Structure 1
Amino acid sequence: MAITRASFAICLLLSLATIATADYYSPSSPPVYKSPTFPPPVYTPPVYKPTLSPPVYTKPTIPPPVYTPPVYNPTLPPPVYKKSPSYSPPPPPYVPKPTYTAPTKPYVPEILITAVDGIILCKNGYKTYPIQGAKAKIVCSEPGSYGKSKNEVVIYSDPTDSKGYFHVTLTDIIKDLLHCRVMLYTSPVETCNNPTNISKGLTGIPLSMYGYRYYADKNLKLFSVGPFYYTGPKAAPATPKY
């Protein structure tokens, strides 16, 4: 009987719950949303806290130091400092100095260079100018018997420069310069290629008639001759009038 009443009570509760749920979700009565209500804010003023005054720093006063001079005790003798003995290094061992002997140079006989220089010019009327490219020659011969010469040697100079200067070095074959003569050889200027006998440029000037200059630093013995002259073409001889 008790079980029947309990079962009946449970069924009744389930029925009520079903009815309540059916009414809540019924389409004829949709749910109404209500916004939540919040209470208005209450302003609480801040509590004023008084600020504390900053601490006052007091500099500590330090008394100045008091100097107490040391008390001299005359009973103690002053300290004695001993001087260290002076150090002298031992003398270096004796080493004899090497004797230097200069090497002996082999004997080289002094070579004397003999040269001849001069100037070759062109003279056309009143005009005189140097000839560039002209040459001179030196003829050396030893006189033989019956007035004949033997062992004749001819040496030609280098072409003259723009100032008409020529220079020639004599070879070692020539032993005696007393039998050497200097004369003109050739001129490249067609309008001035006739040798003249001024300063014996045509017949030859013996070197024995000229002195020489000796240059010790160059070991040079230099003969300077001339100046020698070329001239223009010779005019044809005029027909004699009778």
Structure 2
Amino acid sequence: MGFRNHFLLLSLMAAFLAVTVNATPPTPHPKPLHQFHIPKPEEKGVNSIGVQGMIYCKAGSELMPLEGAMARITCIAVDKHGFETSSYTVMSETDKAGYFLATMPLAELKEIGNITECKGYLEMSPLMACSIPTDVNKGMTGATLLGPRVLLNNKMHLYSVGPLEYKPVSS
């Protein structure tokens, strides 16, 4: 290999190293406006997190509770550097009043990492006639949880979301 080839090879290696060294690292997961709080074990025996809400069918000005509708709560976990590592999802079905309560044991949440945010979503309507999800209170794009309140009797931090709504197919 002549001088010219060595020079060309060294120039290419230097260019590669310059690009590699100056490469932009991946962007960490943005910090949410509402920091999700996982209770510490010493917080009066709290052993779970709950998310409650209501799901309705809204036809015109009438709100009808949807029994059997499914809500989805999805939480994002990040590592110590702020990079998203995994997610945790729990589903909950509404009762005849349209109320749901999704519970998440702390032991399961702590296994996946540092939870930074959880959001509530409409997942499924039991009525074909009222099955169009709406983004009222961000039921489709992700509703921010409000709270928490500490329920000592239930040993739970309780958050609230919604109310969330479906609309009739004919609307």
What residue number does 1:190 align with?
Answer: 128
What residue number does 1:34 align with?
Answer: none
What residue number does 2:58 align with?
Answer: 123
| Unmatched 5+ stretches in structure 2 | 1-40
Deviation at 1:149, TM superposition (A): 3.7
Deviations 1:146-165 (A, max 9, x none): x97431222111x2111100
Tell me if the contact between 1:178 and 1:206 (Cα under 8 Å) persists in the aligned partners. no
- The reply to whether residue 112 of structure 1 matches residue 50 of structure 2 is no
SS at match of 1:191: helix
What residue number does 2:87 align with?
Answer: 152
Change (3 A) 1:189 1:213: same
What residue number does 1:41 align with?
Answer: none
Q: Which of 228, 234, 237 is the equivalent residue of 2:164?
A: 228
What residue number does 1:80 align with?
Answer: none
What residue number does 1:101 align with?
Answer: none
For 1:202 and 1:150, the matched residues in 2 are separated by 23
Tell me if the contact between 2:144 and 2:161 (Cα under 8 Å) persists in the aligned partners. no
Tell me if the contact between 1:118 and 1:226 (Cα under 8 Å) persists in the aligned partners. yes
Tell me if the contact between 2:70 and 2:94 (Cα under 8 Å) persists in the aligned partners. yes
For 1:201 and 1:166, the matched residues in 2 are separated by 14
Give the structure, 1 or 2, with the largest relative contact order (CA under 8 Å, sep 6 or more).
2
What residue number does 2:148 align with?
Answer: 212
Deviation at 1:112, TM superposition (A): 2.5
Deviation at 1:143, TM superposition (A): 4.7
Runs of 4+ in structure 1 displaced over 6 angstroms? none
Name which one, 1 or 2, has greater alpha-carbon Rg. Answer: 1
What residue number does 1:140 align with?
Answer: 75
For 1:111 and 1:215, the matched residues in 2 are separated by 8
What residue number does 1:174 align with?
Answer: 109
Tell me if the contact between 2:137 and 2:164 (Cα under 8 Å) persists in the aligned partners. yes
Change (3 A) 1:230 1:223: same
Deviations 1:25-66 (A, max 9, x none): xxxxxxxxxxxxxxxxxxxxxxxxxxxxxxxxxxxxxxxxxx
Select the structure that is richer in helix: 2
How many residues are treated as equivalent by the alignment? 123
Q: Percent identity?
A: 33
C-alpha RMSD of matched pairs (Å): 2.4
Tell me if the contact between 2:55 and 2:66 (Cα under 8 Å) persists in the aligned partners. yes
Tell me if the contact between 2:150 and 2:156 (Cα under 8 Å) persists in the aligned partners. yes
Select the structure that is richer in strand: 2
Deviation at 1:211, TM superposition (A): 1.5
The TM-score normalised by the length of structure 1 is 0.46
